[in-house]
């Protein structure tokens, strides 16, 4: 009954990471890949991006094994310099999370306006999704993790459905020849795909809720491998069903892919509203996690006395403003790119600093031991 | 502020029962006078004066009708009046002597305080006062008039036992005892209500039910501080975790077999005198879809009906909302021919989809409520009048479209397919919320409300257990008994979310 006694099991952690990673990226990835690779070899970039991210996950787990039960911010402790580094990191992470929240909300409104409600003002759709995430934040870490578990099967089910029902239209020849223009475009694509796995940085905070002996990266890595598998399926299906050239210019290729689906002639004419509906659950998961983490960091580090709901509402306010800063879809995507680069950079930098800290601590401990002797 | 109010209520001096705190002097007139002061104004309290062995003055008090008067006459009055050994009266152990060798009644107790004697007296025991003795003697002479055991009307099964609980606590416990002959089945009694002091029983199986739930239930019940608890439904509302939810956090049933199954799975059961419903806790969301019948039929049949029930819940909650969303926002989703036929049937209907749906839904809710209240013979007629006449006439008058009638009828049927009535009400209420959101934001509104309900559910607890288990958190062994009901030979574990002390139930 005590929320602090709640502990995330290994599988729950894996599913949380999967839910976080599958967000906006899955809609736009085929286009981004097609644009940057310019051949149908994008799927190899996904595999490479996966390997890169698996290493990152492994490193995060390794780092946290030194500090079981502590989040990345918490591990800096209360000593003078380390404490301020922790504060700086928390500010950076809060900025990152708030902007990410705004970006996801923006893409959500664009998609909803495009495919579901063409006359409803964007502000209204954003407001409702923010209401939902704010409510979710008040349920705490247990609520957020359990919500991921509840919506995860829907998302997987719909993606599988889209892939299966497109199989009869797929022309398998479209992805050949493999590596026609050499390795260089594939490497270029990795830049794109490594960003699409972003979301693993939540491990910095969620690992605090795991038991020390559960801190093994295997299941989480299996989880992001599963995401990579889904990405791969979708990207390859996009190339095989709607073609490389078309994929390059469509804003949301996955929705276009869903458009091609025809379930048992005449039962449902268009499946993409249904797909969007389920995808809203997935993007809600991502947003709820991000919103929760931003709230949590602020509460733990800056205003310990404020109520969670108050902080969540203030964050909503700022995110709401940021959501409408980009004027066009193009600018929104640019914002997304900046956020992603910032996130990846932050993750790598945080890892670097973390290991450095561990190293220094060990050193000083050894020194302390030798002095004592 | 509320806390202050509550503490004020508790300190209310009027409720204290000081008038009963009377010490006996042994003078019979004085004792009789004090009893008469308390209950003498009631005409159904009977006072019977007589002489033991023609010498010693004695008085009996009992409540007319609650007691077995034949037993009082045969086992108490007759032996005492024909008693001859008056010499023993002067000895110290006279009372023990009377108990052991004179009175032939099966159960009796002695009491030194009138306060403690009042409750058994008012529930049917007889008080005997003997001149010169400072104690009261209480004879167990209770008798009940009870309804005979019949099939529960709110939970009918095709395959399964036909007996149901009645309003008498002891008969209900008997029905459970007859099914579980385990010495670990524990039955504990208590009294509820400051004034009514009605009996309740707490049942659990030692070594199966987690001690935490037993203690929690006991604690919550002991915190109930109200004049009277009439039904287990009242008790349920007073001890549930969250008052601001439409979802029940305890299950209720009229069926002894369902209650026994709950006990066996490690739940705590509460029975209350005067109510044919037992309460079971803790529960999870998926337990709302279980019927005892699921375990009596073969597993393929049960699995099919389980899936049907989940479908029914989905339809009961979403169908009118989806209809509204389709006709008002997403006409493109429907196949062209169907869209045309719907549009054709809605031609001439003056209202938008939402108004049409809400009018019909309210009509059907009215019909259902009226059908429950009416005498059984007329109730059938209302069904026909409402269903056929109003439905058909509304379509002909052009107020609603025929498709709307199908939607409403399907929704109503679906909501009856869920085994527990109080669960159905939860879905019925949420349906209106869904319809409202579909009318304002289409499918987006539906999914947002669905997300809201899910957030609410993950935050909900029933006696500290997660309400959405075995789905969140994952408890795989219980998945065998969720959407499908696996063969019994596979289900050999108790539901781990209930944290039973004995984890295996078979093999």
Alpha-carbon distance of B118 to B15, in angstroms, equals: 16
- Residue B484 has which token pair? 């499908």
In terms of CA atoms, which chain B residue is nearest residue A153? B471
Place of tokens 């995808």: A279
pLDDT at B134: 83
Alpha-carbon distance of A181 to A188, in angstroms, equals: 12
CB-based contact, B433 to chain A, within 8 Å: no
- Residue B72 has which token pair? 């009082």
Closest CA to A17 of A201, A188, A293: A201
> How high does pLDDT run on average in chain A?
86
**How far is CA B322 from each of CA B207, B333, B334, B442, rounded to the nearest angstrom?**
48, 11, 12, 8
pLDDT along chain B (507 residues), means of 10: 48 49 76 86 88 86 87 86 77 80 83 83 88 85 84 86 91 93 92 87 93 93 89 91 91 93 93 93 90 90 93 93 89 81 84 88 86 77 75 84 88 87 87 93 93 93 90 86 89 88 82
CB-based contact, B244 to chain A, within 8 Å: no
pLDDT at A1: 37
For helices A10-21 and A218-241, give the axis angle rounded to 10 degrees: 30
**Which residue did the predictor score with more confidence, A262 or B106?**
B106
pLDDT at A128: 94
pLDDT at A372: 60
CB-based contact, B207 to chain A, within 8 Å: no
pLDDT at B13: 45
B442 contacts in chain A (CB < 8 Å): 116-117
* Three-state DSSP state, B52: strand
pLDDT at B421: 80
- Per-residue pLDDT for A255 more than 50? yes
Predicted structure pTM score: 0.90
Alpha-carbon distance of A19 to B173, in angstroms, equals: 49
Alpha-carbon distance of A289 to A199, in angstroms, equals: 10
Distance from CA of B65 to the nearest CA of A (A): 49
Partner-chain contact B459 A143, CB within 8 Å: yes
Distance from CA of A295 to the nearest CA of B (A): 17
pLDDT at B1: 43
- pLDDT tens, position by position, A304-340: 888 999 999 999 999 999 999 988 888 998 898 899 9
Residue A60 phi, psi (nearest 5): -65, -45
Find the CB nearest B448 among A128, A266, A268: A128
- pLDDT tens, position by position, A279-289: 999 999 999 99
Averaged pLDDT, A187-209: 85
pLDDT at B220: 92
Partner-chain contact A268 B332, CB within 8 Å: no
Sign of the dihedral defined by the CA atoms of residues B261, B263, B268, B274, in that order: positive
pLDDT at B17: 53
**How far is CA B269 from each of CA A253, A310, B204, B497, rounded to the nearest angstrom?**
55, 40, 6, 17
pLDDT at A316: 93
Residue A268 phi, psi (nearest 5): -130, 125
Domains and CATH numbers, chain A: 9-358 (1.20.1740.10)
Find the CB nearest A139 among B441, B459, B471: B459
Closest CA to B144 of B87, B65, B253: B65
CB-based contact, B352 to chain A, within 8 Å: no
Alpha-carbon distance of A229 to A163, in angstroms, equals: 12
Residue A3 pLDDT level (bands cut at 50, 70, 90): very low
How many CB atoms sit inside 10 A of residue A356's CB? 11
pLDDT at A322: 92
């Amino acid at each position: 009954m005590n929320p602090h006694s709640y502990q995330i099991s290994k599988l729950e952690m894996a599913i949380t990471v999967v839910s976080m990673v599958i967000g906006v990226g899955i809609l736009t990835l085929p286009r981004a890949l097609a644009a940057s690779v310019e051949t149908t070899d994008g799927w190899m970039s996904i595999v490479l991006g996966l390997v890169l991210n698996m290493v990152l996950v492994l490193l995060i787990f390794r780092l946290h094994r030194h500090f079981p039960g502590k989040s990345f911010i918490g591990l800096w402790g209360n000593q003078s310099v380390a404490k301020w580094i922790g504060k700086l990191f928390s500010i950076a992470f809060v900025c990152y999370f708030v902007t990410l929240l705004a970006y996801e909300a923006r893409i959500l409104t664009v998609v909803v306006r495009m495919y579901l409600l063409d006359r409803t003002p964007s502000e209204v759709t954003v407001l409702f999704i923010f209401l939902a995430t704010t409510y979710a934040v008040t349920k705490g870490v247990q609520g957020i993790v359990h919500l991921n578990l509840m919506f995860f099967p829907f998302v997987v089910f719909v993606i599988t459905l889209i892939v299966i029902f497109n199989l009869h239209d797929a022309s398998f020849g479209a992805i050949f020849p493999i590596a026609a223009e050499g390795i260089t475009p594939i490497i270029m694509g990795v830049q794109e795909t490594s960003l699409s796995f972003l979301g693993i940085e939540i491990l910095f905070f969620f690992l605090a809720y795991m038991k020390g002996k559960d801190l093994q990266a295997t299941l989480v890595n299996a989880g992001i491998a599963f995401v990579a598998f889904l990405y791969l399926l979708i990207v390859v299906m996009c190339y095989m069903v709607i073609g490389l050239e078309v994929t390059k210019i469509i804003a949301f290729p996955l929705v276009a892919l869903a458009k091609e689906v025809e379930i048992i002639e005449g039962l449902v004419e268009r499946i993409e509203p249904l797909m969007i509906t389920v995808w809203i659950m997935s993007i809600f998961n991502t947003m709820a996690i991000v919103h929760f983490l931003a709230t949590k960091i602020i509460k733990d580090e800056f205003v310990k006395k404020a109520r969670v709901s108050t902080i969540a509402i203030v964050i909503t306010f700022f995110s709401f403003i940021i959501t409408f800063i980009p004027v066009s879809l193009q600018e929104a995507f640019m914002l997304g790119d900046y956020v992603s680069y910032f996130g990846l950079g932050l993750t790598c930098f945080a890892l670097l600093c973390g290991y450095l800290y561990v190293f220094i601590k060990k050193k000083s401990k050894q020194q302390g031991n030798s002095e004592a002797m | 502020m509320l806390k202050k109010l509550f503490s004020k209520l508790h300190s209310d001096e009027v409720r204290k029962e000081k008038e009963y705190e009377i010490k006996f002097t042994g003078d019979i007139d004085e004792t009789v006078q004090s009893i008469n002061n308390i209950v003498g104004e009631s005409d159904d309290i009977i006072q019977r004066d007589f002489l033991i062995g023609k010498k010693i003055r004695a008085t009996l008090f009992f409540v007319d009708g609650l007691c077995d008067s034949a037993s009082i006459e045969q086992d108490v009055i007759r032996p005492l009046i024909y008693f001859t050994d008056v010499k023993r009266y002067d000895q110290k152990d006279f009372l023990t002597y009377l108990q052991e060798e004179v009175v032939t009644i099966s159960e009796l107790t002695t009491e030194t305080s009138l306060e403690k004697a009042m409750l058994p007296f008012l529930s049917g025991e007889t008080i005997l006062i003997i001149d010169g003795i400072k104690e009261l003697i209480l004879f167990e002479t209770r008798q009940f008039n009870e309804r005979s055991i019949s099939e529960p009307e709110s939970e009918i099964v095709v395959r399964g036992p036909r007996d149901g609980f009645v309003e008498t606590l002891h008969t209900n416990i008997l029905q459970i005892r007859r099914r579980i002959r385990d010495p670990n089945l524990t039955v504990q009694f208590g009294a509820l209500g400051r004034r009514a002091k009605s009996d309740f029983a707490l049942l659990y199986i030692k070594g199966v039910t987690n001690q935490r739930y037993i203690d929690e239930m006991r604690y919550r019940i002991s915190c109930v501080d109200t004049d009277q608890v009439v039904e287990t439904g009242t008790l349920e509302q007073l001890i549930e975790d969250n008052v601001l939810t439409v979802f029940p956090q305890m299950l209720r049933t009229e069926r002894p077999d369902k209650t026994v199954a709950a006990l066996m799975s490690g739940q705590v059961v509460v029975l209350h005198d005067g109510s044919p419903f037992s309460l079971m806790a803790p529960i999870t969301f998926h337990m709302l879809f279980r019927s005892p019948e699921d375990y009596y039929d073969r597993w393929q049949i049960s699995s099919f009906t389980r899936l049907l029930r989940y479908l029914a819940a989905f339809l009961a909650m979403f169908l009118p909302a989806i209809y509204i969303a389709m006709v008002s926002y997403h006409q493109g989703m429907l196949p062209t021919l169907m869209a045309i036929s719907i549009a054709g049937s809605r031609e001439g209907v003056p209202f938008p989809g939402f108004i049409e749906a809400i009018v019909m839904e309210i009509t059907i809710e009215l019909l259902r409520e009226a059908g429950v209240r009416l005498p059984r013979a007329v109730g059938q007629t209302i069904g026909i009048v409402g269903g056929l006449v109003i439905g058909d006439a509304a379509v002909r008058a052009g107020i609603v479209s025929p498709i709307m009638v199908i939607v409403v009828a399907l929704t109503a049927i679906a909501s009856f397919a869920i085994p527990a009535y109080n669960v159905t009400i939860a879905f019925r209420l949420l349906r209106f919320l869904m319809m409202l959101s579909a009318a304002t934001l289409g499918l987006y509104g539906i999914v947002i409300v669905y997300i809201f309900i899910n957030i609410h559910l993950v935050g909900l607890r029933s006696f500290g257990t997660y309400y959405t288990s075995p789905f969140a958190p994952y408890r795989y062994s219980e998945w065998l008994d969720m959407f499908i009901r696996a063969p019994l030979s596979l289900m050999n574990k108790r539901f781990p979310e209930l944290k039973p002390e004995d984890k295996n139930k078979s093999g």
